[in-house]
Chain A
Amino acid sequence: MSYFSIAWQWLTSAQQWHGGDGIPVRLAQHLQFTGIALGIAVIIALPAGLAMGHLRRGGFAVVTLANFGRALPTLGLLVLIFVLTPGSPASWLVPLAFLAIPPILVNTYEGVLGVDADLTDAARGMGMTEWQILRKVEIPVAMPLILLGLRISAIQVVATATIAAYIGLGGLGRYIIDGLARDEYNVVAGGAAVIVLLALAIQGLFTLLRWLIVPVGLRRQAQTS
């Protein structure tokens, strides 16, 4: 039997859909880990990226931080923080947030930095304040890249949130880790399938979001992202 069919069989059996180990509960836990980590990354990275892009400085810091974030072994960090502070949410939150920050920060910074200087000069000439320039000119123009950063982060985090199961927490990773430990490959395949579908759903959500909030005039450019 192929992995697709055993995954499908597992997914469609009724017992997977209720109880503490059921897909709805695990999905909710997974989305909770993803949402909180992503939220914290947005709170840190989005304002920082906008400010550095607008002020046109800090590029070196952005690149360094991005490389640092990419090089950080998520699983290692997870275990390290867990052993230092057993049971605190920091053990999953910090590694996931570190994973999410670089794409948001880099793309926001590059997006705002890349806004045509003629546009901002014209806005300034029309008497806009710096805040108005950022809000009415730079953010809308940079929106395709900002959304790209958010999308990359969201997909990375939703895929990596599976590691929370490694330290005994819930989420969809439970299926993969428990299934492997118990030689239940249908559970592994089924759980992996749910995570793939979730990642695809997030991709779809961002496509929709881009269509809704990127100005019509920029949408052709946005296709390239």
Chain B
Amino acid sequence: MRNKSSRRAAVPAPKRTTTRAAAAGVAALACLTAAACSSSGSSGKSSSSSNPLAPSSTGSVVVGSANFPEDELLAQIYVDALQGKGIKVTPKFNIGAREVYYPQVVKGAITIIPDYNGALLTTSVDTKSTATSTADVNAALKAKLPSSVEILNSAPAQDKDSITVTQATATKDHLTSISDLSSVAKNFIIGGPSEFKTRADGIVGLKSIYGLTFKSFSPLDESGPITIATLQSGKVQAADVFTTTPQIVTDHFVSLADPKNLFAAQNVTPLVYQKGVNSTIISTLNAVSAVLTTDALLQMDKALVIDHASYTQVASGFLSQEGLK
């Protein structure tokens, strides 16, 4: 409400709608404390997405982030890109895990948050889903998400499990995809977190989906220092490493492609409160998603974690490079 005048200055809007947006803001705030606010979503379903030119949502949007560096970086990119379009943004970073932020997006207390489609589907929307490809996961999300929220276009960038080998191994055995392991798997020791041995998207799936049986399994950590050091030393020839682990760049690892979708898609995908976004916001975020590749994200994570660059530096660097700023 404090922004009311400035908002009106930025976007000349009929007074009535501006007031309504302010009222919606009050309702959203009230939702933080009041338990019964599920009804707040039903009143104005027609406002934004069905009429993208409606000015009611060009006011301040709240961009949230989960409590880990990559998501905070993605949120910073969204903030920068939106501000570049003259949209007023309130950053609310480092909120917590999905269990914490997701209900806030559903209520509208957070307008936009960068999420990962596969994890969003299986942790918050449909825990029994077996969708693995990007298209299937997004279709399932579109079908199952509550009406107050929607997902925008997914970026090609994914932060997901991958079977990763050293550059030397990849060159020697001509490996680019998990399928290429068929002739060498029997000589390979594969490493991963303890649960990798018994999970369907682990040793079990490698056998049933790709027909691969490895020499043995070595229990390591979740794509952390133990895994990195063990893979680098050659004690294991392949390991479960997340696709945006910065050491993939610094230690010259190669993440093998997963053509049969053993690991569910984890595309960076904006989760938005439907009534809080207009066509400018949607097209801006979709433009960001269109150019955000796994490699770009990996390089940014590396800049952030290994080179200790600041979030704002990395985010604006990316946007300038892609011509979005």
- Residues on A facing B (Cβ under 8 Å): 79, 82-83, 86-87, 165-168, 174, 177-178, 180-182
Contacts and interface: CB of A to CB of B under 8 A. Distances in A.
A167 B229 CA distance: 10
A182 B197 CA distance: 9
Sorted nearest first, the 9 A-B pairs with minimum C-beta distance are: A86-B233, A181-B194, A86-B229, A178-B194, A181-B195, A87-B235, A83-B229, A182-B195, A168-B218
A83 B219 contact: no
B191 interface: yes
A166 B222 CA distance: 11
B230 A87 contact: yes
Q: Is the interface of A mostly helix, strand, loop or mixed?
A: helix
A79 B225 CA distance: 8
B194 A167 contact: no
Contacts of B191: 168
Contact of A181 (B193, B218, B226): B193
B218 to A, nearest CB: 5
Given A79-B226, A177-B194, A165 B219 contact: yes
A177 B219 contact: yes
A167 B220 CA distance: 6
A100 B218 CA distance: 28
Nearest to B193: A181
B233 A87 contact: yes
Contacts of A79: 225-226
B219 A82 contact: no
A207 to B, nearest CB: 36
Contact of B225 (A83, A168, A182): A83
Contact of B226 (A82, A174, A178, A180): A82
A180 B228 CA distance: 22
Interface of B: 191, 193-195, 197-198, 218-221, 225-226, 228-230, 232-233, 235
A86 B225 CA distance: 10
A28 B108 CA distance: 58
Nearest to A180: B194
Given A168-B218, A177-B219, 11 more contacts: A83-B225, A86-B232, A165-B219, A167-B230, A168-B230, A174-B219, A178-B194, A178-B219, A180-B194, A181-B195, A182-B198
A85 to B, nearest CB: 9
Q: Is the interface of B mostly helix, strand, loop or mixed?
A: helix
Nearest to A21: B197
A21 to B, nearest CB: 10
Q: Which interface residue of A86, A166, A174, A178 has the most chain B CB atoms within 10 A?
A: A86
Contact of B229 (A82, A174, A177): A82
Contacts of B230: 86-87, 167-168
Given A86-B230, A87-B230, A168 B193 contact: no
B224 to A, nearest CB: 9
Contacts of A180: 194
A83 B235 CA distance: 13
19 contacts: A79-B225, A79-B226, A83-B225, A86-B229, A86-B232, A165-B219, A166-B221, A167-B220, A168-B191, A168-B218, A168-B220, A168-B230, A168-B235, A177-B219, A178-B194, A178-B219, A180-B194, A181-B193, A181-B194
Nearest to B230: A86
B164 to A, nearest CB: 16
A180 to B, nearest CB: 8
Contacts of B218: 168
Contacts of B233: 86-87
A178 B198 CA distance: 10
A166 B230 CA distance: 12
A25 B245 CA distance: 35
A52 to B, nearest CB: 38
A83 B229 CA distance: 6
A174 B219 CA distance: 9
B198 A167 contact: no
A142 B255 CA distance: 60
Nearest to B229: A86
Nearest to A165: B219
Contacts of A87: 230, 233, 235
Contacts of A168: 191, 218-220, 226, 230, 235
Nearest to B233: A86
Nearest to B222: A181
A172 to B, nearest CB: 14
A215 to B, nearest CB: 48
Contacts of A177: 194, 219
Contacts of A182: 194-195, 198
Q: Which interface residue of B219, B220, B225, B235 has the most chain A CB atoms within 10 A?
A: B219
B226 A167 contact: yes
A13 B207 CA distance: 28
